[in-house]
């Protein structure tokens, strides 16, 4: 075993990937606490990756996806925010009739429930850390809010995390 002061980016990205896969599995269950715990883990890993880019990359440029995850990470880790909005659509049963010269047929389908966790819009998350500046309340932890609103809010969580994985795969050797 080698000694090192810091882990390489590839190790942090691997941790993000394992957590993302755990979230994908948890999201298919109906246990909100398990799903939240899995999301907590994936945004924590995303924060570690963003820190690496901010402090150790040559350009010091953090990809926009990671900025957005940094914003929601702060809400989830520091405020216990429920960032998951469970979207459910009920498709009613259907009947289709098909007529032919020799009679016809009937096709019946059952009701279908479609459910997918999406990111809550930022307006439905805690604002973050308050600070009083010259007698006025300011929220100081808004880094990444613009990126979160543009890239994550109201979007399916699994799809956005898959997109982040693709972004990270391009930057890891």
How far is Cα of residue 64 from the mean position of the Cα atoms in its chain? 13
Q: Is residue 123 part of a domain?
A: yes
Rounded to two decimals, the pTM is 0.79
Greatest C-alpha distance within the chain: 84
* pLDDT cut 90: percent of the chain above it: 53
Question: What residues make up the domain containing 70?
Answer: 9-171
pLDDT one-digit tens code per residue, 138-165: 666 788 999 999 999 999 999 999 999 9
Q: Is residue 38 part of a domain?
A: yes
Q: Is residue 4 part of a domain?
A: no
Structure tokens at 108: 């019946």
Q: Write out the DSSP string of the chain.
A: ----SS--HHHHHHHHHHHHHHHHHHTTSS-HHHHHHHHHHHHHHHHHHHHHHHHHSSS-PPPHHHHHHHHHHHHHHHH----EEEEEEEEPPEEEEEEETTEEEEEEE--EEEEEEEEPPGGGS----EEEETTEEEE---TTHHHHHHHTBTSBHHHHHHHHHHHHHHH--
Q: Which residue has the higher pLDDT, 96 or 158?
A: 158
The predicted structure's pLDDT at residue 159 = 95
| Strand extents, DSSP E, 25-164 | 84-91, 94-100, 103-109, 112-119, 130-133, 136-139
Q: Is residue 26 part of a domain?
A: yes
Closest-CA residue to 125 (of 48, 49, 68): 68
Q: Is residue 79 part of a domain?
A: yes
Q: Is residue 3 part of a domain?
A: no
Length of the chain: 173
pLDDT one-digit tens code per residue, 122-136: 999 988 777 777 887
Q: Is residue 13 part of a domain?
A: yes
Q: Which residue has the higher pLDDT, 18 or 58?
A: 18
Look at residue 64 and tell me whether its pLDDT is greater than 90: yes
Number of folded domains that form the chain: 1
- CA distance linking residue 29 with residue 34, whole number of Å: 8
């Amino acid at each position: 075993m080698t000694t090192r002061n810091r882990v390489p980016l590839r190790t942090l990205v691997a941790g993000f990937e394992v957590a993302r896969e755990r979230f994908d599995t948890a999201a298919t269950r109906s246990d909100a606490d398990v799903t939240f715990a899995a999301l907590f883990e994936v945004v924590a890993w995303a924060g570690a990756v963003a820190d690496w880019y901010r402090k150790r990359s040559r350009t010091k440029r953090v990809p926009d996806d990671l900025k957005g995850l940094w914003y929601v990470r702060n809400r989830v880790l520091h405020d216990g925010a429920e960032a998951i909005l469970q979207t459910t659509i009920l498709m009613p049963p259907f009947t289709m009739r098909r007529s032919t010269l020799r009679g016809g047929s009937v096709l019946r389908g059952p009701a279908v429930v479609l459910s997918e966790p999406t990111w809550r819009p930022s307006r439905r998350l805690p604002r973050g850390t308050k600070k009083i500046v010259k007698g006025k309340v300011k929220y100081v932890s808004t880094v990444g809010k613009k990126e979160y609103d543009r890239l994550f809010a109201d979007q399916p969580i699994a799809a956005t995390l898959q997109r982040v994985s693709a972004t990270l795969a391009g930057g890891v050797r």
